Structure 1
């Protein structure tokens, strides 16, 4: 792997093809897919925690009406508030996952636009190409 890229779990190390056009496209597509999966899970969690928070609030009201010890009614109300906070936090996580999904798809699209032609030209030439960075100017020329 390149020294300027972090190791990616589950990817083999050392091969120059790990950072190739197709591999990078596959990784960003996998990232977008994982973000989408997370987003869907967070929607389900938010709905579930919201329902539980409502039920706990209703139970607290019923306990108050039944004159249950105030400390227990307050504990149930606290649990309802905590469940509401979890629902809100899962909504924030959904927004973050949505941003990752959009960014990964945008990156994949920009990467494809920028490098697809180069990739096709290199693979269509049938000639061994220089290693990445060979054509970069090093600053040693005068």
Structure 2
């Protein structure tokens, strides 16, 4: 009669670190911060492109009043339209980064609530613990 328990060798992470409670906490915290930073940067880009496109529209209006050749005024209008497209794309990407940040935060919170007490109990114990994955079932 065999046991369902199988020895398990955890896979090392990049830079030689093993997967542990603290490395997951650190990685999720970094992911959350990077997603937040990305979202904020994209919203800044969106506002900047919207402002610049309005300014360029104003230049196009002045060119029309000054009877500048229409092909040049058309190019100016095209540039303003391109900036609006960049603003729209930045808004979509910022929304995706917002979802990424929320999901990373939720994952981090779930990980903390699930494993923090176990981690602290192991750290407080004077008893040597089995290697990670020792109790994993086949």
Same fold (TM over 0.5): yes
Alpha carbons 2:10, 2:132 under 8 Å: kept: no
CA contact 2:10–2:133 (8 Å) conserved in 1? no
* Secondary structure of the structure 2 residue equivalent to 1:135: coil
Name the SS of the counterpart of 1:30 in structure 2: helix
Q: Which residue of 2 aligns with 1:45?
A: 45
State how far apart, in whole Å, the 1-side matches of 2:77 and 2:66 are: 15
Query: What's the counterpart of residue 116 of structure 1?
Result: 116
Aligned to 1:107: 107
Shift of 1:132: 2.0
* Structure 2 spans left out of the alignment, 5+ residues: 1-8
Deviations 1:70-107 (CA, angstroms, capped at 9, x unpaired): 11111000000000011111111211111111111100
The higher relative CO (CA closer than 8 Å, separation ≥ 6) is in 2
Match of 1:32 in 2: 32
Q: What CA RMSD, in Å, does the superposition of the two structures yield over aligned residues? A: 1.9
Q: Which runs of 5+ in 1 are unaligned?
A: none
TM-score normalised by L of structure 2: 0.85
**Other-structure match for 1:92:** 92
Equivalence for 2:72: 72
Q: Secondary structure at the match of 1:12?
A: helix
Q: Which runs of 4+ in 1 moved over 6 A?
A: none
Distance 2:117 2:93 in 1: 37
How far is 1:120 from its partner?
1.4
Given the two structures, how large is their TM-score scaled by the length of structure 1? Answer: 0.83
